[in-house]
Amino acid sequence: MDGVPEPHTGWTFVTNHARVLAAIADNHSARIRDIAAHCRLTERAVQKIISDLEQAGYLSHTREGRTNTYRIDPSKVLRHPAEAGLTVASLLSLLVQAEAARSTGSPDGTRPHATA
């Protein structure tokens, strides 16, 4: 994957499952290869994550020729007890807003300055 940074090691704030779900929300017919490149994951990892999301009911797919088209259930509630009542739609809303701001270079997408 030329031009793609190496995967991050250590912990992060957003899980790989959330990243894959957000990538699919951005393009419902994205190829696993493209999702993997976008999320900085291997194709095998993305396949496993998609399988996890489908088994849990967050995601489904239909086969159209050689392409999968994914459907996200936006009303599905997040799994962790601390997020009780929050839906996939609310999570994706936050992730999509942040990605849009970062892509357009708007003031909302700039990095905040650290304060002491």
- For 18, other C-beta atoms within 10 Å of its C-beta total 19
Query: What is the per-residue DSSP string for 31-44?
Result: -HHHHHHHHT--HH
Written as one letter, the residue type at 67 is T
Listed in order, strand segments (DSSP E) in the chain are 59-64, 67-72
Residues 99-115: pLDDT tens digits? 666 667 655 544 444 44
Span between the terminal Cα atoms of the chain, in Å: 39
Residues 1-55: pLDDT tens digits? 444 556 667 788 889 999 999 999 999 999 999 999 999 999 999 999 999 999 9
Higher model confidence: residue 73 or residue 99? 73
